[in-house]
């Protein structure tokens, strides 16, 4: 270990931008065993590992880096999997530059350890060598748990509960498990077989999936409460934030998730009329994406691969204040995306179909209560950008679950997320828990995994405490 003083940081080889613009494959090549061990050996094994402190899952990063450097890969995987349900996914899509790697104590002149790439290598190797097996329990418990949502929070909770012996049923309105990992994140960041193999593994473990099943329509929350000893709501947040202004209703202005879902479904071989007729397809178009988060980066890089004539990203702050991963911004720039910094839309131009975006230059002012600089428009600075397709990537809000589930007694916060007791993760309904974005708001996959694992612990505690009482009594 401690080889950072003599060994430079090296990421896995990255495919040339010209090559990756033309396909949907992941942009990094695989580490070799020698390269992975070499990069893992750069870890300083510091006394207070800030990489671990700043990981939402508290991953034992220095431990599995040391094991990788020593060639003990199976043990490295066991350590990584002990705190992370999906290390192969986090290694691919976590913004390591803002989390673990961004807080590495190695001085910046030597650059941080390539934690994410090593994590991905460890788990991909574990899959190849058959070390990852279905999470089957030592004994079956006479209890069942219903989970609403097959995204990262729901799947993480399902695995933990199944290991304890519960009969686990997952209800999801889509036709595949994975949530945003399947339909929101593009293939060049997360190839779909990586997610689908987890789904197959969980089915082999005895977890039952009820797909194409919308709670509130095909089955009620009341039915699920009667059917199971506990229920976890892990629906995520999908309601797109909108933008007003003149021309906001023109054709050709679309929400980011609609656009990304159409692209991902097409890649999966589904029939997608809105893609085929051009409504959700950037081919041959001038594209403007509004927003500065990771979803916006997914949209601009998808548009490039679909064959857009030009792709511009309009963001009201500067590069330093962008909420998305700087790595993603760099990838996008390499692939030909133009960033229009310190600019915000004020109107959309066109008759029936959008033809452009009128924007205004912005000025960064004084910090607000959160410490983030406020933005103010510069008078007389308006300009117009031509566009055939405008994609709104402004974030997501929760849907009205009490109305959707016909459960008005479900309490909400002032932000519209589900209100829970943060000690027990239980909602205002006894025996009904909640985790992930539906509680914390739109966030990272790694936080959803953390919440799902924590919720499984609290559900187990609740069921064991109430098992001696009839469910009807426990629900009162």
Q: pLDDT-derived band of residue 469, with 50, 70 and 90 as boundaries?
A: low
CATH number for the domain spanning 36: value is: 1.10.1060.10
Assess whether pLDDT exceeds 50 at residue 354.
Answer: yes
Is the same domain home to 233 and 174?
Answer: yes
Residues 6 or more apart whose CB falls under 8 angstroms from that of 301 comprise 186, 188, 328, 331, 332, 335, 337
**Average pLDDT over all residues of the chain:** 94
Tokens of 313: 């990203």
257 vs 262, 296, 299, CA distance in Å? 8, 10, 9
Assess whether pLDDT exceeds 90 at residue 2.
Answer: no
Distance CA(163)–CA(214), nearest Å, equals 26
Is the same domain home to 216 and 343?
Answer: no
How many percent of the chain have pLDDT more than 70? 98
The predicted pLDDT at position 473 comes to: 36
Is the same domain home to 286 and 369?
Answer: yes
Distance CA(116)–CA(69), nearest Å, equals 15
Query: Which residue, 128, 157, 172, sits at the end of a domain?
Result: 128
Q: pLDDT-derived band of residue 468, with 50, 70 and 90 as boundaries?
A: low
Q: pLDDT-derived band of residue 470, with 50, 70 and 90 as boundaries?
A: very low
Residue 139 lies inside a defined structural domain of this protein: no
Per-residue pLDDT reduced to its tens digit, 388-410:
999 999 999 999 999 999 999 99
Angle between helices 294-306 and 256-267 (to 10 degrees): 50
Per-residue pLDDT reduced to its tens digit, 131-157:
999 999 999 999 999 999 999 999 999
Assess whether pLDDT exceeds 60 at residue 278.
Answer: yes
Query: Which residue, 128, 162, 194, sits at the end of a domain?
Result: 128
* Whether the Cβ atoms of residue 209 and residue 199 lie closer than 8 Å to each other: yes
Is the same domain home to 88 and 206?
Answer: no
Closest to 232 (Cα-Cα) out of 150, 315, 314, 308: 150
pTM over 0.85: yes
Assess whether pLDDT exceeds 70 at residue 351.
Answer: yes
Distance CA(359)–CA(347), nearest Å, equals 7
The total of structural domains in the chain comes to 3
Is the same domain home to 432 and 469?
Answer: yes
Segments of 310-352 assigned E as strands: 310-314, 338-340, 343-350
CATH number for the domain spanning 281: value is: 3.50.50.60
Average pLDDT over every residue of 79-107 = 94
Assess whether pLDDT exceeds 80 at residue 208.
Answer: yes
The alpha helices in 84-206, defined as continuous H runs, are 87-93, 115-128, 152-164, 180-183, 192-204
Distance CA(442)–CA(317), nearest Å, equals 20
Q: Which residue has the tokens 């043990």?
A: 75
Residue 138 lies inside a defined structural domain of this protein: no
Residue 134 lies inside a defined structural domain of this protein: no
The predicted pLDDT at position 471 comes to: 43
Range of the domain at 93: 3-128
Is the same domain home to 385 and 261?
Answer: yes
Assess whether pLDDT exceeds 80 at residue 227.
Answer: yes
- Worst-scoring range by mean pLDDT, 13-27, 65-79, 114-128, 358-372? 358-372
Per-residue pLDDT reduced to its tens digit, 247-269:
999 999 999 999 999 999 999 99
Residue 135 lies inside a defined structural domain of this protein: no
């Amino acid at each position: 270990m401690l080889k950072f003083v003599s060994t430079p940081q090296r990421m896995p080889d990255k495919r040339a931008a010209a090559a990756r613009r033309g396909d949907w494959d992941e942009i990094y090549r695989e580490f070799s065993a020698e390269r992975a061990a070499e990069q893992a050996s750069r870890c300083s094994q510091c006394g207070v590992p800030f990489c671990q402190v700043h990981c939402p899952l508290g991953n034992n990063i220095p431990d599995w880096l040391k094991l990788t450097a020593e060639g003990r890969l199976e043990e490295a995987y066991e350590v990584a999997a002990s705190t992370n349900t999906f290390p192969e996914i986090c290694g691919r899509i976590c913004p390591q530059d803002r989390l673990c790697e961004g807080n590495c104590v190695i001085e910046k002149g030597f650059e941080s350890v390539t934690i994410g790439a090593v994590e991905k290598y460890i788990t991909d190797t574990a899959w190849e060598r058959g070390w990852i097996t279905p999470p089957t329990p030592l004994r079956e418990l006479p209890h069942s748990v219903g989970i609403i949502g097959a995204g990262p929070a729901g799947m993480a909770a399902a695995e933990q509960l199944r290991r304890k012996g519960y009969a686990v049923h997952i209800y999801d309105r889509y036709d595949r498990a994975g949530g945003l990992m399947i339909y929101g994140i593009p293939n060049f960041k997360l190839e779909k077989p990586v997610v689908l193999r987890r789904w197959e593994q969980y089915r082999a473990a005895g977890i039952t999936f009820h797909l194409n099943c919308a709670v509130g329509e095909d089955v009620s929350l009341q039915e699920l409460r009667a059917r199971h000893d506990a229920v976890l709501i892990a629906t995520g947040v999908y309601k797109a934030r909108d933008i007003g202004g003149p021309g906001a209703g023109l054709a050709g202005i679309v929400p980011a998730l609609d656009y990304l879902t159409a692209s991902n479904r097409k890649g999966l071989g589904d029939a997608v009329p809105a893609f085929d007729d051009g409504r959700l397809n950037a081919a041959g178009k001038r594209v403007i994406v509004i927003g500065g988060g990771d979803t916006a980066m997914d949209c601009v890089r998808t548009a490039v691969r679909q064959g857009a004539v030009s792709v511009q990203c309009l963001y009201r702050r500067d590069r330093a204040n962008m909420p998305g991963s700087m790595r993603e911004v760099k990838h996008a720039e390499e692939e030909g995306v133009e960033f229009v910094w310190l600019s915000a839309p004020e109107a959309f131009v066109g008759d029936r179909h959008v033809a452009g975006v009128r924007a205004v230059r912005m000025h960064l002012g004084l910090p607000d209560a959160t410490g983030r600089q406020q933005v103010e428009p510069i008078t007389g600075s308006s300009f117009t950008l031509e566009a055939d397709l405008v994609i709104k990537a402004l974030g997501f809000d929760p849907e009205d679950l009490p109305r959707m589930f016909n459960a008005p007694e479900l309490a909400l916060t002032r932000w519209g997320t589900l209100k829970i007791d943060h000690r027990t993760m239980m909602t205002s309904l006894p025996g009904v828990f909640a985790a992930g974005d539906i509680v914390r708001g739109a966030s990272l996959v790694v936080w959803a995994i953390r919440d799902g694992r924590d919720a499984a612990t609290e559900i187990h505690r609740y069921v064991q405490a109430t098992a001696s009482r009839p469910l009807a009594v426990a629900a009162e």
